[in-house]
Amino acid sequence: MKDDFSSQLSARILAGAAPVVVGLDPRVQSLPTKIAPGATEPDRILAFYREVLPRLAPLIPAVKPNIAFFERFGAAGFGCYEATCQLAKELGMLVIGDIKRGDIGSTAEAYAEGHFAMADALTLHPYLGRDSLAPFLSHCSASGKAVFVLVRTSNPSACEFQDLETPQGKLCDAIARAVDDWGSDLGDPKGFSLVGAVVGATWPDEVVRLRALMPRAWFLLPGVGAQGAGFSDVEGAFDSRGLGGLVAQSRGIMQCFSPDDAQWLDHIEQAAVEFARGIREVATA
């Protein structure tokens, strides 16, 4: 499928876009003071993204709205999430819905149907096994959507469970092998699959080791910046063409200004330019 998520992402990066995804984790207290003063919090958030996303669209291929930061405002917040996804798509950006769902049967199918209507790819928990992925994989097969499965997360306590020994090695290794299997017949057989993996950049040795277990998986790499990882920590995710990794950044770009700074929009654009340049250099080293 030439227009599936993986093919689109590969094409954009090969055409010059940086392998970067900007996280949309709106915090009202960090919004510019001049953005829709007096409006509701969801309306202020959406007004902010209407200013920011047109500046980011020429620079980066994708955004990753985190639904928790929208859902906390109830129905209006969910509407803001939906509108933000639609805005990004209208600007030509791929949308990764950071929803981290994990359930089975008709519940999983309902999640897949609802969230794939808004996003091109979704983050998922694998704890319930293949049953929890099956409805999402069906959508991937039918419409070229993608998923990113939590394999080795960036948080400090990830090792408490993800490093537990199993007959297949660490638990994260067992999940990695499942990701490779789930994506075996999805996507370009000679390229990357539609089943990706969330692999924290805070564990650079694990990035390299897990790449060997998941040679066709896109890696979604959180942790650069506020969580302590540096640009060089993601180098092991990329192939010789600079493909295979999508490095996430949120606060370092979207909160790089003081709320009362009149030049806040320029600061965001410059931060995005600098982050994209740094990641592009590492990816093509």
Each domain of the chain, given as residue ranges in start order, spans 5-283
For the chain, the average pLDDT equals 96
Q: What is the pLDDT of residue 35?
A: 96
Q: Residue 193 in 3-state DSSP? A: strand
In tens, the pLDDT along 4-56 reads: 999 999 999 999 999 999 999 999 999 999 999 999 999 999 999 999 999 99
Which among 2, 34, 100, 190 is annotated as catalytic? 100
Confidence at 188, pLDDT banded by 50, 70, 90: confident
pLDDT for the residue numbered 228 = 83
d(CA 150, CA 87): 27
pLDDT surpassing 90 at residue 2: no
Judge whether residue 139 has pLDDT over 70. Answer: yes
Percent of the chain with pLDDT over 70: 99
Within 13 Å, how many C-alpha atoms sit on residue 43's CB side? Answer: 5
Q: Can you give the pLDDT at residue 190?
A: 84
Task: Please say whether the dihedral angle defined by the alpha carbons of residues 190, 196, 200 and 206, taken in this order, is positive or negative.
Answer: negative
Tell me what the mean pLDDT of segment 193-200 comes to. Answer: 97
Q: pLDDT tens, 44-88?
A: 999 999 999 999 999 999 999 999 999 999 999 999 999 999 999
Q: Is 195 helix (H, G, I), strand (E, B) or coil?
A: strand
Is 100 designated active site? yes
CATH number of the structural domain 5-283: 3.20.20.70
In angstroms, the CA 81 to CA 72 distance is 11
Return the bridge partners of 248, or none: 21
Work out the pLDDT band at 1, boundaries 50, 70, 90.
low
Q: Identify the pLDDT of residue 89.
A: 98
* pTM passes above 0.95: yes
What are the b/e assignments for 213-228, b being 16+ CB within 10 Å?
bbebbbbbbbbbbeee
pLDDT for the residue numbered 109: 97
Which residues, 6 or more positions from 140, have their beta carbon under 8 angstroms from its beta carbon? 146, 147, 186, 194, 195
* Distant-in-sequence contacts of 76-79, Cβ < 8 A, 24+ apart: 76/40, 76/41, 76/42, 76/43, 77/41, 77/42, 79/42
The 10 Å Cβ neighbour count of residue 212 is: 9
d(CA 211, CA 197): 10
pLDDT at position 225 is 82
Query: Once rounded to an integer, what is the mean pLDDT over residues 163-179?
Result: 94
